[in-house]
Amino acid sequence: MEKQMRGQQKRRFLIMPSFLLGMVLLWFAGCATPYDGVPRTLEADYGRSVTYNRLEMMATPPDAVDPRPPVGMLPQAAANTQGIYDKSFKKEREEPKTIRLELR
């Protein structure tokens, strides 16, 4: 019993195999790069540049260069804001519900 595919169902049937074929080709292209264990120029220079940047950060830290102190809130306003923030996490304590049983 053959059933004819209609509009959107037919498009999906045509699109999915082409999408899967594209993904497989992309995967093979990524795996097809020759790697013989020898680092390329950019890869070999990466370690050196990281080392130079770390040494530069030790010699002249960027925070010591900034002459302007950070601008913030007044101390009282900051304390009030922090207090409101802390109160938002506290649960109000409810009276425990008790069950009364009366014997007759």
pLDDT grade, residue 88 (50/70/90)?
confident
pLDDT grade, residue 21 (50/70/90)?
very high
User: Residues 6 or more apart from 5 whose CB is under 8 A from it?
Assistant: 13
pLDDT tens-digit series, residues 60-85: 877 766 677 667 888 899 999 999 99
pTM over 0.85: no
- Contacts within 8 Å (CB) and 24+ apart, 86-94: none
